[in-house]
Structure 1
Amino acid sequence: MNVIWSFQWKQAKKVIILGVAFLLFTLVLYAQGGPLSPGTLPTAATRSPGAIYEVPTDKKVVALTFDISWGEKIPGPVLDVLEKKQLKKATFFLSGPWTSTHPEIAKRIKSMGYEIGSHGYKHDNFSRYDNNWIDDQVRKAEEAIYDVTGVKTKLIRTPNGDFNKRVLEKLHSMGYTTIQWGTDSLDWTNPGVDVIVNRVLSKAHPGDIILMHASDSCKQTVEALPQIIDGLREKGYEFVTVTELIAGTNAKSKTE
C-alpha cells in the first residue's frame, strides 16, 4: 500500500510542478502584452523596419537616384542632362553640409520638381555610432535641407549605404524610410563611361532603384547619363520617384 501511495504522490508532484510552470509562463506572457491571437500576429507593418532596395512589380518602371555629398562641377551638368532629356522624375539624396554650401543648386533641384531625400550630415558610417549621434546627424541634415529647399525629408540613404538593424530601427522611429539600391552604376569608381552604361542597362529591372552620383568625384556620370536614359527608354522603361515606386506596390526590404 505504501508503494502505491508513494507512486501516486510522485505523479501528483509532477502534475503540480507542470501546473506551476504553466502558470508562471502565462503570467510572464501577459506581463509582456498578452498572448498572440490571430489578430495580433506579426505583419508587414509590425516587423522590424528594413531598407528598401527595389519593389516587386511587372511594370517597367525604375527610380533613378543621385547622391550628392560634395562639389559644384558635376551637379549642374547632371541637371542639364535631365532637363535636355526631359526626364522629370528622379530622386536626389543630399547631404546637409553640401546643401548649406550650395543652396542655388539645391534650389534648382527642387524647382525642377525632383524628389529630395537626406544623405545625412557627416559622411560616416552610422553603424559605428550610438543612437544619439544618429539622431543629431539626421536632425542637422533635415534642418539644413529644409532651410534651403523647404522640403521636410522622409527618405534617407545613409552615407556609404551603411546600416545595421539598430540603425534601421532608429531611423524608422524618426519617421524615415531607408533607401538602398538594386542596381549600382559604379559611377563612383570611374570605371569608364561604357562600363557604367552597360552595367545599368544590363542590370536594370522592373521596380529597380538605380544608384548614381552627382558629386564631383564621379567624373564620368555626366557622359554616361544620356546613354542610360536613352537606353532604358528604348527598353520601354518609365522613370518615377522613389516615393512613387514604393506607393505603386509593396516594397521589398531587408533588415541586414
Structure 2
Amino acid sequence: MNFFVVLNGKRMKQIVLIIVSAFFTAWIVYMENLVQVPVFSTKEGPKAVYKGEKDIALTFNIGWGDEKAAPILDVLEKENVKSATFFLSGAWAERHPDLVERIVKQGFEIGILGYGYEDYTSIEDTEIRKDLAKAQTAFGKLNIKKITLIRAPTGHFDKRTLKIAERFGFTVVHWSIDSEDWTNPGVKKILTNINKAAPGDIVLLHASDSAKQTAKALPDIIKGLKGKGLNFVTVSEMIANGKAKSEEVR
C-alpha cells in the first residue's frame, strides 16, 4: 500500500520559514556566546591571559577622548595605587603624549590597544599586522619600546589574532571581571560588578571619554578591593607571580 503526504504551497512556505528562523536564532545565540567567552587559546599554541592566581590587576582601556584619563590618574595617585595596566591605542597615544608620559611617570604599565579601533576578527591577517606595527611605531616614537602586552581593540579575537600577536612577541590580555563602566550604568552598578572580584582577577575598566562614571566609582572600587586584602599589581606582575589561566578556542 502506498501513502502520500500532500502539503499545499502555503503550508510548505510556513514550515520552511519556521526552520530558517530557528536556525538563524540558534546562530545568533551561538555567536553571542562565542563573543562573551572570556579568554581563548589554541591547542599547544599561543594563549591569552584572562586570570592569574593571586592579587588583583586593574586595567584601563583608552581609545579616544581627552577628559577622563587625567581624573582617573588623579584618583589612583590620591589613593596610592602604584600598579595598574593601561591599554592605549596608538592613535590616542600620538595625540596625547603628555598623558602617556604621566602614565609612565606614575609607574603604570602600558599595553597596546591596537592603533585604530579595528575588530580583529573581521579583518584580514595583513591588516591586523599593519595595525599592530603602526601601534608599535607610534609608541616607539614616544620612547616606549618594551611593550609585551596587547588587548584586542574591541575585545574580540580569534586564533589568528593569537598567532599574529605571538609573532610580534606580544601576549594577548583579556579580563575576568567586566565593570561595564563604558555603559554608564551608575556608580552602584559598577561597584556591584567589581564586588565579585577575587584573587587573580583582571578587571576591565575604561578611561576613554565614553566612561563618564569611572573616576567617581574608582575610590570605592579601590577601597572595596583593599578591604578584601587584595594587592594591586600590573598584568605582567600577575603573570610572573603565578600561573595564568586560559581556555581553548573552538
Q: Please report the TM-score for the alignment, with normalisation by the length of structure 2.
A: 0.81
Q: Is the 8 A contact 2:176 2:202 kept in 1?
A: yes
CA distance in structure 2 between the partners assigned to 1:232 and 1:151 by the alignment: 31
Percentage of pairs with the same residue: 47
Deviation at 1:146, TM superposition (A): 2.3
Number of aligned residues = 209
One-letter identity of the residue aligned with 1:218:
A
Distance in 2 (alpha carbons) for counterparts of 1:216 and 1:149? 25
Distance of aligned partners of 1:167 and 1:153 in 2 relative to their CA distance in 1, 3 Å threshold: same
TM-fit CA distance, 1:142: 1.2
**Alpha-carbon offset, residue 129 of structure 1:** 1.4
Query: SS where residue 154 of structure 2 aligns?
Result: helix
Helix, strand or coil at the partner of 2:232: strand
Q: Which runs of 4+ in 1 moved over 2 A?
A: 149-152
Q: Which amino acid aligns with 2:213?
A: Q
User: Separation in 1 of the partners of 2:145 and 2:130?
Assistant: 18
Is 1:72 aligned to 2:66, yes or no? yes
1:255 Cα deviation after fit: 4.0
RMSD of Structure 2 on Structure 1 (CA): 1.5
Structure 2: tracts of 5 or more residues without a match: 1-40
1:197 has 2:191 as partner: yes
Q: Considering only CA atoms, is the larger Rg found in Structure 1 or Structure 2?
A: 1
Matches within 5 A, 1:1-256: 47-55=44-52, 57=53, 59=54, 61-201=55-195, 203-256=196-249
2:42–2:159 Cα contact (<8 Å) kept? no
- Secondary structure of the equivalent of 2:246? strand
- Distance change in 2, residues 1:124/1:131 (3 Å): same
Q: Give the residue type in structure 2 aligned to 1:115.
A: E
- In structure 2, C-alpha distance between the alignment counterparts of 1:100 and 1:173, rounded to whole Å: 24
Q: Distance in 2 between matches of 1:206 and 1:233?
A: 11
Q: Answer whether contact 1:116 1:151 (CA < 8 A) is retained.
A: no
Q: Normalising to structure 1: TM-score of the pair?
A: 0.79
Q: Distance in 2 between matches of 1:172 and 1:255?
A: 16
Alpha carbons 1:117, 1:155 under 8 Å: kept = yes
Q: Aligned-pair distance for 1:174?
A: 1.3
Q: Deviations over 1:87-142 (max 9, x none)?
A: 00000000001000011001100111100000001101111112111111001111
